[in-house]
Amino acid sequence: MKKDLICIVCPRGCSVTVEGEIGALKVTGCSCTKGEQYAIEECTHPTRTVTSIVRVSNREDTMASVKTSCPIPKESIFAAMESIRGLSVEAPVCVGDVICKDLYGAEVVVTKEVL
């Protein structure tokens, strides 16, 4: 296997190449160990933090921004977005309020207060 990636861990955006077989992957092009870890995870078990918005049921034309508390499997993102689309909150909500306790292993938390 050979895969070329752009590391998305920091704005530097290093061009990274991963070669070899699962369990013995060799990473080149990284400027730091965080990038190496990202590249290996991207090739073996890619994950992403999901950000979205939900309706505020007691405010007209108002949405609250939310995100998953930790990265979830990349293959679950579209299903997770469907689940988030079905959520709503009631104002007031504060940053860090949990509106869903388990979405593919993550909580869904509010990222901007709505008073």
Rounded Cα distance between 10 and 30, Å, is 11
Exposed / middle / buried, residue 55 (Cβ in 10 Å: 0-12, 13-18, 19+): middle
Rounded Cα distance between 72 and 90, Å, is 25
Return the residue nearest ligand SF4 (CB atom).
35
Tell me the per-residue interface mask from 6 to 45 with ligand SF4, x by CB under 6 A, - otherwise. -x-xx-xxx---------------xxx-xx----------
Q: Of the two residues 10 and 79, which places its CB atom closer to ligand SF4 in the complex?
A: 10
Contact residues for ligand SF4, defined by CB under 6 A: 7, 9-10, 12-14, 30-32, 34-35
